[in-house]
Amino acid sequence: MSELKNNNTASYGDDAIVTLSPREHIRLRPGMYIGKLGDGSQPDDGIYVLIKEVVDNSVDEFIMGAGKSVEITIEDNVVTVRDYGRGIPLKSLSAAVSEMNTGGKYGGTAFKKTVGLNGVGVKAVNMLSSEFTARSVRDGEARTVVFAKGLEVSDKWESGVNEKNGTMISFRVDTEIFGEYSYHMEYVEQMVRNYSYLNLGLTFILNGTPYVSKNGLLDLLNDNMSDEPLYPPIHLSGNDIEVVITHGSGYGESYYSFVNGQYTSQGGTHQTAFREAIAKTVKEFYHKDYDPSDIRTSIIAAISVKVTDPVFESQTKIKLGSKEVEPGVSMRQFVGDFLGVQLDNYLHKHPDTAQILQKKIVDNEKERKAISGIQKKARETAKKVSLNNRKLRDCKIHFTDKHELAEQTMIFITEGNSASGSITASRDVRTQAVFSLRGKPLNSYGLTKKVVYENEEFNLLQAALNIEEDMDNLRYNKVIIATDADVDGMHIRLLMTSFFLQFFPDVIRGGHLFILQTPLFRVRNKKETYYCYSEDEREKAIKKCGANAEITRFKGLGEISADEFKEFIGENMRLDMVRLTKDDPIHELLSFYMGKNTYDRQNFIINNLRIEEDLVENPDQI
């Protein structure tokens, strides 16, 4: 009997097995070490992770009692970080920044309760940089080692130097791997601010500007709240733990959580324990069996814990997996015992705050019970529609799964059959889902949460995201509004953003809401194709393509083929994060643009209207 052969099967022999050096592996698969690459337009892009990996080591020095300032400069895309700690031991300097699994944080006494425990971070920076310099100064002796793409170029020793002890790391990210990129200083500044909140007494100097916090997490909450809190924030601190708690007037829950100075944007075991402990302590204080959701709705809080040998769910360290604070002490017990005593004591000593908090809980309870019947019916509707796959084309890997691709999950919210069809046909089915809106959504400004369950579109979207009961259940890391780049598309963006601001602001606060940028033009010749997002990009593309350039103006998402869409929702996807800060007057903006002040808004439009002739005469104003 002849052996059947499949001519389409690739050859698989011993020569297909390849062993990579650590340097080769990092450069070939950088995402395993720093998450996505990006061009610097998003705060979680890899170029910011590289800065954090270096700064983490300087912060660890401070935690161990060495050095009171860290200087960070970014100039011409070169990042330099200088601390005044103990300095890396000179004989080990080269190995410490270039050899994997080499470091001083493997259970010795030099470092405790730090973030960088795997001996990977600064090595990844080195190997992903076209230029990398490490310099250490210890008691008048210094050593400087220079690398290029992870390979040592020079090694210099010095004696009798007149410099303070410490370590200096300087690097330029390799464009061969990252492509063209630029640093958005607002993202770096926020990173530095977070470091300052968590390390009282440590001054960060970013491009000459000092950042220092006097009140820790209390400063963080005050700097990030866009509305006045219902009561003065409750600030509690103890050994290896600090918390701040207050309530606002909106919906949802908002948390800022940290472990050993690391911002865990996706929470983890410490945040879960914190949420449970707040509900338990409050119920025991009032001797009422309140529903936990009524206690936590509208909460704005922050928690910082210090953990021995923390375990994170990925190398990017944005979600804590440790079940213990230290051997023998569970996270739940540690956080629960702290709040059970300290929060209870605070509420007894501050009866005005306790009264305001209880009124908020009762108000939340009344609203929840008022819509409980509607909720039940809405859940049944959402379940049936989801099963019929009429609205949601889901992905195979969900945000709640413990999977290496969980951070890559996303859902596109789009309008119209043609647009959703193109995205659906071109998406990565493992990580990308599509939710189809039917026409323009309702203007939700000024409405109560009851409308979320009565309005079919909002109810089904809420069910698709799985955020009705708990933000921790959010099934996608990125929620992306994908609409046409015309007036109607902009209006839908505004309506959807208003929906999240009104009812689920923690989706925004958690950095999960984005706007998809789609190209306005396609410029091509027989050899090259360029997709352009602005007039300037179009002009540059025309010059590259020459006189025979073919120019297409995209009027809507439905005009972009599925094959072309792969260019825009893959590695080259451009996203604008919807951000929420203290300086954003949310209520005033929503009231003006989405409220019933038709006369004021009409006058604003008339006074700021620019007709076509004006734009032609003054193109800079476009």
Mean pLDDT to the nearest integer, 147-155: 93
Side-chain-side CA neighbours of 133 within 13 Å: the count stands at: 13
In degrees and rounded to multiples of 5, residue 144 shows phi and psi of -125, 125
Greatest C-alpha distance within the chain: 89
- Which carries the bigger pLDDT value, residue 622 or residue 501? 501
Most confident of 47-56, 343-352, 361-370, 560-569: 343-352
Most confident of 329-333, 355-359, 591-595: 355-359
Straight-line distance from the first to the last Cα atom of the chain, in angstroms, rounded to the nearest whole number = 75
Residues whose CB is less than 8 angstroms from the CB of residue 585 and which lie 6 or more positions away in sequence, other chains included: 226
Contact 219, 195 (CB under 8 A): no
Residue 315 has pLDDT above 70, yes or no: no
**What number of other Cβ atoms are within 10 A of residue 2's Cβ?**
4
Query: Which tokens belong to 425?
Result: 């046909």
Local confidence band at 156 (pLDDT 50, 70, 90 cut-offs): very high
pLDDT number for residue 299 = 92
CA-CA-CA-CA dihedral for 487, 489, 493, 495, to nearest 10: 70
Closest CA to 557 of 393, 412, 392, 408: 412
pLDDT number for residue 415 = 82
Residue 359 has pLDDT above 90, yes or no: yes
Contact 282, 289 (CB under 8 A): no
The domain locations on the chain are 22-211, 217-366, 372-518+556-583, 521-553, 585-622
pLDDT number for residue 133 = 96
Side-chain-side CA neighbours of 552 within 13 Å: the count stands at: 14
Distance in angstroms (rounded) separating the CA atoms of residues 496 and 208: 40
Q: What is the pLDDT of residues 403-462, one digit of tens each?
A: 456 678 899 998 877 677 788 888 888 889 999 888 788 888 877 888 888 888 888 888
pLDDT number for residue 283 = 95
Residue 153 has pLDDT above 90, yes or no: yes
Taking each helix axis as running N to C, give the angle between helix 487-503 and helix 586-594, from 0 to 180 degrees, rounded to the nearest 10.
140
pLDDT number for residue 241 = 92
Distance in angstroms (rounded) separating the CA atoms of residues 391 and 394: 9
Strand 209-211: give its sheet, edge to edge: 151-159, 141-148, 129-138, 166-173, 78-83, 69-75, 203-206, 209-211
- Which carries the bigger pLDDT value, residue 572 or residue 548? 548
Contact 346, 354 (CB under 8 A): no
Q: What rounded mean pLDDT belongs to the chain?
A: 83
pLDDT number for residue 2 = 41
Residue 115 has pLDDT above 90, yes or no: no
In degrees and rounded to multiples of 5, residue 410 shows phi and psi of -155, 155
Mean pLDDT to the nearest integer, 267-292: 93
Helices (H), 170-326: 175-178, 185-198, 217-224, 269-286, 292-296
Q: Is the dihedral of CA 71, 74, 75, 79 positive or negative?
A: positive
pLDDT number for residue 106 = 43
Residue 6 has pLDDT above 50, yes or no: no
Residue 338 has pLDDT above 80, yes or no: yes
pLDDT number for residue 615 = 44
Mean pLDDT to the nearest integer, 342-357: 96
Q: What percent of the chain has pLDDT over 70?
A: 86
Three-state SS at 580: coil
Mean pLDDT is lowest, of 129-138, 464-473, 598-607, for: 598-607
Count Cβ atoms within 10 A of the Cβ of residue 318 and give its class: 0-12 exposed, 13-18 middle, 19 or more buried: buried
Mean pLDDT is lowest, of 62-76, 130-144, 361-375, 570-584, for: 570-584
Residue 387 has pLDDT above 50, yes or no: no
Angle at 429 between CA 427 and CA 432, to 5 degrees: 65
Local confidence band at 582 (pLDDT 50, 70, 90 cut-offs): low
- Which carries the bigger pLDDT value, residue 222 or residue 11? 222
Helices (H), 121-246: 121-127, 175-178, 185-198, 217-224
Q: What is the pLDDT of residues 458-493, one digit of tens each?
A: 888 888 888 877 777 888 889 999 888 777 888 888
Closest CA to 594 of 484, 496, 507: 496
Mean pLDDT to the nearest integer, 330-339: 93
pLDDT number for residue 81 = 96
Q: What percent of the chain has pLDDT over 90?
A: 34
Distance in angstroms (rounded) separating the CA atoms of residues 107 and 309: 8
In degrees and rounded to multiples of 5, residue 378 shows phi and psi of -65, -40
Mean pLDDT to the nearest integer, 1-12: 51
- Which carries the bigger pLDDT value, residue 215 or residue 518? 215
Distance in angstroms (rounded) separating the CA atoms of residues 198 and 304: 8
pLDDT number for residue 574 = 84
Mean pLDDT is lowest, of 19-33, 75-89, 484-498, for: 19-33
In degrees and rounded to multiples of 5, residue 160 shows phi and psi of 70, 30
Residue 204 has pLDDT above 90, yes or no: yes
Distance in angstroms (rounded) separating the CA atoms of residues 270 and 278: 12
Contact 253, 297 (CB under 8 A): yes
Local confidence band at 120 (pLDDT 50, 70, 90 cut-offs): low
Local confidence band at 242 (pLDDT 50, 70, 90 cut-offs): very high
Top-tier CATH class for 22-211? alpha beta
The pTM (predicted TM-score) of the whole model is 0.70
Top-tier CATH class for 217-366? alpha beta
Local confidence band at 146 (pLDDT 50, 70, 90 cut-offs): very high
pLDDT number for residue 581 = 62
**What number of other Cβ atoms are within 10 A of residue 111's Cβ?**
19
* Residue corresponding to tokens 């015309």: 486
SS3 sequence, 29-93? CCHHHHCCCCCCCCCCCHHHHHHHHHHHHHHHHHHCCCCCEEEEEEECCEEEEEECCCCCCHHHH
Q: What is the pLDDT of residues 34-55, one digit of tens each?
A: 777 888 887 878 899 899 889 9
**Domain boundaries 372-518+556-583, corresponding CATH code:** 3.40.50.670
pLDDT number for residue 8 = 53
